[in-house]
Amino acid sequence: MNRSAALLLLAIALAGYGIYLALFVPAMLVGPPVLLLLIGFLLQAVFGVVAGVGVWRGAHWAPLVVVLLGASIAATALIEGFVLGIVAYLRALLEAVVAIIVTLLIAAYVKGQLGVSRTTADHI
């Protein structure tokens, strides 16, 4: 797969994830909101869309926002499991660990691809 096509698919997936989570927010506002959960989903939605835009545009700050997205996913999972008791502890812990591992892999890939494309463009 072409590097630019892979980054474009990754950008679409990140932005799509952010938009998907943004659709949960209005439903969370209907009843009495659980503030920690609402903040977690809002952060995930914002960081997802911003990360998608950053990867799509090739911004140098895109890997940082990807890491922030992963941290917000992990924090929300831990809040759901350990603080609110909505999901089982081990599932919440697994979700947090997987989120951090996948986030670091994606951030490293994006950083490497953006770094390669910038240095290649500078030599031309």
pLDDT in tens, 91-108: 999 999 999 999 999 999
Q: Which of 33, 27, 36 is nearest to 83 (CA)?
A: 36
- The residues, any chain, with a CB within 8 Å of residue 114's CB and separated by 6 or more, are 58, 59, 60, 62, 63
CA trace torsion 11, 15, 16, 22 (10° rounding): 170
pLDDT in tens, 3-26: 689 999 999 999 999 999 999 999
The whole-model pTM stands at 0.88
Crossing angle for the helix pair 62-78 and 35-57, to the nearest 10 degrees? 160
pLDDT in tens, 68-93: 999 999 999 999 999 999 999 999 99
Residue 42 clears pLDDT 90, i.e. is over it:
yes
**Residue ranges covered by each domain of the chain:** 3-123
